[in-house]
Amino acid sequence: MAAMGWWEKSRIHQALKRLIAGPGIEVDSTTPSAPVVSAKISTDPSNALSFGTDDGLFATGGGSSGHSPGCVFSNVLAATTVTSEIQIPYGGTIEGWTIVGDVAGSVSIAVSRATYANYDTMTSLFTATCTTSKKAQATGLSHTLTAGDILRFTASGFSLFNRVSITLEVN
């Protein structure tokens, strides 16, 4: 076993490990300027999971009472269209969505789906919008998902947001 350096022994490194490490999540770094966080993705829907970087987008899923897959878009330029895809390891029905931003802003997020077998032939489900607000929400939706489906989130029309997320309510 290699000897631990000053970074691994430091209080900051240990606090970082306690803050973000959990079941299936590891902090692996030998230099303070480039800590690496990795997540081992579980298909057990009772385990929440998230992955991504602070420079773009995150995709999340899991939860024990229903599911809440979604994306976080950050540091995106106003003229940019950003797309992210995640595979859903469970079936259910999308019943609603919530958009939350760091400041009052605007964004349009188109959500579409495909089966794994027909991936890249996406079927549009809905477009979620937030207009000059920090939050927006919709309920009463009914879009069926099958275990293994791939969801695509395409965000465009960014205005003022530094970070904005969409979370789906899947039961």
Query: Could you tell me if 139 and 163 lie in one domain?
Result: yes
6 or 33: whose pLDDT is higher? 6
Look at the chain and report how many structural domains it folds into.
2
Query: Could you tell me if 122 and 151 lie in one domain?
Result: yes
Query: Could you tell me if 100 and 119 lie in one domain?
Result: yes
CA distance 169 to 147: 15
Query: Could you tell me if 134 and 68 lie in one domain?
Result: yes
pLDDT of residue 116: 93
Query: Could you tell me if 59 and 31 lie in one domain?
Result: no
The whole-model pTM stands at: 0.64
3 state DSSP class of 143 = strand
pLDDT of residue 5: 57
Tokens of 14: 């240990």
Residue range(s) defining the domain that contains residue 150:
44-170
3 state DSSP class of 19 = helix
Check residue 103 and report its DSSP letter: E
3 state DSSP class of 16 = helix
Closest CA to 113 of 85, 152, 74: 152
Give the pLDDT band of residue 9 (cuts 50, 70, 90): low
Closest CA to 40 of 57, 23, 58: 23
Cβ pair 151, 111 in contact under 8 A: yes
CATH of the domain at 104: 2.60.120
Least confident of 26-35, 61-70, 79-88: 26-35
Q: How high is the mean pLDDT of the chain?
A: 74
Phi, psi for 9 (deg, rounded to 5): -85, -15
Q: For 76-149, list the strands marked E by DSSP.
A: 82-87, 92-114, 123-145
Query: Could you tell me if 146 and 123 lie in one domain?
Result: yes
